[in-house]
Amino acid sequence: MTEFALDLNDDQKQVRAWLHGFARDVIRPAAAEWDEREETPWPVIQEAAKVGIYSLDFYAQQFFDPTGLGIPMAVEELFWGDAGIALSIVGTGLAAVGVLANGTEEQIGTWIPQMYGDTDDVKVAAFCSSEPDAGSDVGAMRTRAVYDEAKDEWVLNGTKTWATNGGIANVHVVVAVVDPDLGTKGHASFIVPPNTPGLSQGQKFKKHGIRASHTAEVVLEDVRVPGSCLLGGKERLDERLARSRERARAGGERMKNAAMATFEASRPAVGAMAVGTARAAYDYALEYAKERKQFGRPIIDNQGVAFQLADMRTRIDAARLLVWRASWMAVSGKPFTAAEGSMSKLFASEVAQRVTAQAVQILGGNGFTREYPVERMHRDAAIYTIFEGTSEIQRLVIARTLSGLPIR
């Protein structure tokens, strides 16, 4: 087991510098344009593919970093560049992780390359879980998958919402109910291949922030996929369902939800996104405060501004430490006995909201205009307390973990 350390090794420092350069030179100059256009920044994604950032190999290298710091380090740098464009670059990873976590080796080898495409023809993928009536409450999911044994096909019906790359993706990974009596234990994940009849894009959302990232509904109407598109295969699914039914009969309904455990392990990555956005706002506000003069001196000479910047930096560093600790625990196989994954996401997301608001305040009227990037950063930061579990859900997870009680 790798010991927890705060010093990045030489390879990690090189990767961080490379990503920072890409964020500074490619992402940032394009950020305002794609925020205004509210469209997927295909040219930027293609540039990321050309240099090797938008690829399975790159994310696999960071994912399997034995220190656990590869992913949070990479994510922070990209989101320092711009949250909307960065989410367009990393969004495919959500679907890829779904396949890596649940798929067979054959499924991994078949579908993940199709999610990314190549440098001449980049593709994206979508992970579809949330529904209009099933966001935080995953047990309320209604999308159904019914097995047609005669044709060895699964038939999917339902509507997904808040899907990053939904409808424009080459490959969709869809979570559906296969046994309603088992609640969340009766869910399974399916690959929907390109150009499958019955899958369509519903409403595309016009969002407050992260506007360069495509977010839409995905409508499934009698979507038929081959049996081979059930992630993990039917034999494994049948075994899992049988175990769940047996535990339910034996009074084991309160066993730990595997989906919740997966979310808990992935939440530090969202925390790293928030840290990147907060750091970007802080950096800009710091330089502005050193250059902007009022009453004949830089505004950073005023304690009211200087103390804000001191608090901003302190909170950012504290958030990063929580994210790094949780990431190291996840890769080291250490259990989150105090919901450390949720802690990191909760704290970092709320730090991002506070720090970006302080950056707007430091810039004054300028900070309220789109001529300066902190306005966009503040809008972008709002998403972190909402997606992949709201702040309220994080507090609930932490409280339940600490108390061992089903707090509602």
By annotation, the residues acting in catalysis are: 388
The total of other beta-carbon atoms located within 10 Å of residue 375's CB is: 21
Q: Are 379 and 208 in contact (CB under 8 A)?
A: yes
d(CA 123, CA 404): 44
Give CA–CA dist 237/81, Å, rounded. Answer: 41
Q: Which string of DSSP letters, residue by residue, matches 380-398?
A: HHGGGGTTTS-HHHHHHHH
* Largest interatomic CA distance in the chain: 82
Contact between residue 63 and residue 137 where contact means Cβ atoms under 8 Å apart: no
Cα–Cα distance measured from residue 309 to residue 326, given in angstroms and rounded to the nearest whole number: 26
Residue type, 181: D
Structure-token match 């600790």, residue found = 325
* Cβ pair 96, 115 in contact under 8 A: yes
Residues 6+ apart with CB under 8 A from 140: 131, 133, 134
Label the pairing between strands 153-164 and 187-192.
Answer: unpaired
Q: CB within 8 A of 102, min separation 6: which ones?
A: 189, 231, 232
Strand ranges, E, within 71-115: none
Are residues 309 and 286 in contact, defined by beta-carbon separation less than 8 angstroms? yes
